[in-house]
Every structure is written in structure tokens, then in C-alpha cells.
Chains A and B, each alone.
Chain A
């Protein structure tokens, strides 16, 4: 059984007199451990699909089932609880809380879990280690570079051991060199930790690091090209 099952998913909204349908009856299965990238022109529903899978938006019709839970049927509150336990979200613009240190930002999702303070500390330190920022734990976002901020954002996304991690243009606001570091990091998370990753990107080079590449056009998945992980991954683990 796939980890993520999307069936007949449609999302439309009204803009003035026009009805826009970014997603039109989409079906998709994502297996545990997949690294899936989604490309396509602006307005084709990539981010909409990501937001729906994340449970931060609601479809008009259709269903999304993640690890046996049909999240499209959950109430607002239960959906929030589900996100706390099962979802990691990597934003394009990092979106760290400016008043909190890197450590505290990474710790945020764990505050919602029923774990001990010791376990919380251990998880945060492991997550910071995973992104190579243990020595920047006490720095505030304003004291970090763009790449470091994104790595903190990635640590925050994985710290709660989520079922699935989604990334919305994770390299979109970074320079080429920093973007490459983030690509290596995402590849490592998928290969070493077995994290299931869904990523939206405009950059074909970034999309190429994923094991599966989807292309969305006018609300439909028009291309799905599963390939082996090794042939597409850039960063080997050190």
C-alpha cells in the first residue's frame, strides 16, 4: 500500500468571474522512501498539490490518504495534530521565527509531541547535527546566512520524525553554490534516513536529484518518470 494515496483530487477557486482549477482530478501514489519532484510552469498546481498533501489547504473533491489516514476528512484541529506528528515542511523563504535561536526554531515542532525534555533535546541535537549546524545552535536567524537558515528550516522539518517531508522551492531563494549544498542535504536525508520527500521546484537540475519526477500542466500530471535513485542523485553521503 502506498504511503500517500491521492485520488480524484480537484481544487478550484473563483477569481473574479473566472473559475481557476489548478488541480483537476489528479491521482498519485507515493511510496515510503520516495523522493519525488514536481515541476511545471507557474500556476499549474504544483504548490497547490503540495499544500493539499500537507493538510494546510482543502480540496474541493477527492481524497488524500497518508499512512492509512484520510487527511481530507479530518477536522481543522485534528489536521493540525496530524501535521505536528506526521509532516515536515520546508519553505522557500525558510520562515524561521526571528525571535528564536536556531535551536529553539528546531525545537518548536517537538514541543507539540508527548516526549520527555531529554528526548526533545536529543532529537534537536541530532537534527542540527544532520544539517551540520550544531555549532550555530544559539544563533538567531539574523546571524545566519541564507543557506544556514534553510538548513535550520530542514532540521525543523525532520526533527519530529515525520511520515512525509514536503519542500516548496527549497533552493528558490539561494545562490547556486548554496543551492547545491541543500540539494546534497536533501538527497542524504532521503537516502540515509529514508525520509519520504515531495519537492516542488522550477529548476530542472534540482528536480533531477529526485528518484521520481512529475510534470504538472494545467491541473494534470502529464508526465511521471520513475527512475532509479542512484542515477539521479547528486550528493553522495560522506
Chain B
């Protein structure tokens, strides 16, 4: 059966090439739609990673009660010491956050200031450029995430200034958590002083690593109860819940965007089906001749579906590859209130893009293929004559 299909492959390719203008336009349309589909997929994948991965459920964020933007949360830095002593807590790291924009933005710059040694232990960062030594020894040193470095053209030795913040880049890092690559790390002391004297001794949030087996909700409740006696009341949530809450407006938008993805697939379906219907209608006589020669109607059906699938898969492949390439070199991210969602290429996204295109191609070909296979031979020959 497969060998027989292979024998007819030249016929399928040549048929598509005969109307290359029409074929290329359809491939182009499918590519554009699949490009958008993959972009939407990347955004949704980024959000899912941010809210559902292990780090999101095993790390707690202590934030000032009823505050949302990092500029408004001010916790005493020594809260970290108090939290570290509580049962179920493995470590607590004070983090000062500064962002150039609290609203949703595609080019948000977020500084995280943390004690360098603690940062190195707590974060899974791999330096691709620069050194930890320079980061720990220089006061205005900054480690820049790969995505920010790509967007802003930064590398070791660069001086980067935004607003009142000016840092010396001593390294570029990658991370297993793509959103991390949109951050710029400095030491906690530097960020506190750079923002002004009123920030000295303050942190925006305390990041709490849970002990193995500790119940996140129970530890969160314990932290808030303990700190309730302090000068600033807190709200403690898992990192995933914190990020979902912080990005709530964007989350709604991104969840709505999946309809855009479905719309793209419908567009590809309609485009490829229309092209295939036109192609079949042009070749009513040809299909009748092929059946007269001895091709079964089911084989005619498969040939038409194969044409439709090829066009759609080619478009899907091009659109997916261009989308993944853009995501790979663009270092794109969207963020709000200091939390960023990274758009990253991934193997599952590539497989999904091409697989979905292939599936849509098959579906798009079914109706025209049925039309081609069911037309009575004599009627088709007579119509053509």
C-alpha cells in the first residue's frame, strides 16, 4: 500500500506544481496563519510554565498586604531572618524589585536585587558570559538574562542605564526557567541604595524555599501569622498563585488569545479547502480518466487528501519554523508589575505546529476528496467533453 502511494507521489507533486501560483499563495497563507498560531502557543506555554511548574508550587512569595506593584511593597529586610526560622522553611531570600513600567509592556526591564551568594544558591543560573566573582566583588555589577541581553544588545563590560538605574554588566546568564532570562540581577545593597535612602533595609518581597514535604498553604499561613506582629502585614502565596494574581489582566487576555489560535486554524482550513476544491473541480475529467485506468475511488480520495495535506504541512512547517526562529532570536517577553512571561521556542511547540498543520490539511482535503471520489466516471467524462 505504501509502495503504491510512493509510485503516485510524482503525480501529486507535479499536480501541485502545475498551479504553482495558487499553491504558493495557499502555502503562504497557511504559513502566516501558523506563524500566528505558534506565537499564541508560545505565549500560552510561557504563562503555563510561569504558573504550573515545580518552582511555582514549591516557592512562596511574601508580599506586603494589599499591594500589587513592586514599587508599593516595602517589607523590612530582616523579615527574611524571621521567616527562615519557621518550620517548613528551607531558606528565605529578601528581594528588592525595580521595574521601569508597572503596566503591561513588551519591553519591560525588571531589576531584582538579592544577596549575591544566596542568589547563586537559590537560582538555577548558568553564565554564558562573565563571572560570578565579578558579580560578587563589584558594587554596581549586574547579571543580565539572555533575553534582555538580546533585546538590548548587552554583553559583559557594557554599561546599562535606564531611568535612575545604572549598572555595569559583568555576565549574561541562561536559566531553565525562561522567565528568569528577562531579569537583571544586582546585589540587594546596590538596588536599595540606587533607589534612594528610604529603600535601605527594605525588600519588595521575601522568596521562601519550602523544606521537602512542607505544605505550602500551612507554611504561608504560619508566615503571615508570625509577621502580623511586625510593622508591615503580609500576604504569602505560592509563586504560581502570586504570579497569576499579579498578571491577572494579562492572564485573561492570554486565555482569550487561544481563540485567536483557533481562528488561525479555521483560516488555514478554509484556505486550503478552497484551494483543494478549486483544484478538484479543475480536474473532474482527469480523476475520471484515472478511475477508468483502474484507480479505485478510495485511491482518488487519498491522492486529493495527500495534495491538501502537503500544501498545509508545507505552510505549517514554514510558519512554525519562522515563528520559532523569531522567538529564538527575539528574546520576546511580556510583563506587568515586575513579572514577565517569556515567549520561547520549544520542541513541543514545533511538533504541535507541524502536527496541527498536517491534521488541518487532512481535514481540509476530506470534502473535496469525497467530491472527487464520488463523481460518476461517465458523468465526469461527459461534462468535460
Contact = CB atoms under 8 A, between A and B. Distances in A.
Contacts of A95: 285-286, 289, 381
A83 to B, nearest CB: 4
Interface stretch (A108-116, A143-151, A221-229): A108-116
Interface in B162-189: none
Contact of A51 (B10, B14, B286, B378): B378
A100 interface: yes
Interface in A154-200: 156, 160
18 contacts: A51-B378, A76-B297, A77-B297, A80-B299, A83-B294, A84-B295, A89-B292, A91-B381, A95-B286, A97-B286, A97-B290, A99-B14, A99-B17, A108-B11, A109-B293, A109-B294, A112-B4, A112-B293
Interface of B: 4, 7-8, 10-11, 14-15, 17-18, 285-286, 289-299, 376-378, 381, 384-385
Given A57-B377, A99-B15, A77 B298 contact: yes
B164 to A, nearest CB: 68
A104 B4 CA distance: 15
Given A99-B11, A104-B10, A112 B295 contact: yes
Chain B CB count within 10 A is highest, among A51, A76, A104, A108, for A108
Chain A interface helix/strand/loop/mixed: helix
Contact of A97 (B11, B291, B298, B299): B11
Contacts of A71: none
B378 A111 contact: no
A66 to B, nearest CB: 14
Contact of B11 (A76, A81, A100, A112): A100
A214 B290 CA distance: 29
A208 interface: no
What 6 A-B pairs are tightest by C-beta distance, nearest first? A84-B294, A99-B14, A80-B296, A56-B377, A111-B7, A83-B294
Given A77-B298, A98-B18, A109-B294, 19 more contacts: A51-B378, A56-B291, A56-B292, A80-B291, A80-B294, A82-B294, A83-B292, A84-B294, A87-B292, A87-B294, A91-B289, A92-B385, A95-B381, A99-B17, A104-B10, A108-B293, A112-B295, A156-B293, A160-B294
A93 interface: yes
B278 to A, nearest CB: 16
Chain A CB count within 10 A is highest, among B293, B384, B385, for B293
Contacts of A93: 384-385
Given A80-B297, A81-B296, A99-B17, A108 B290 contact: yes
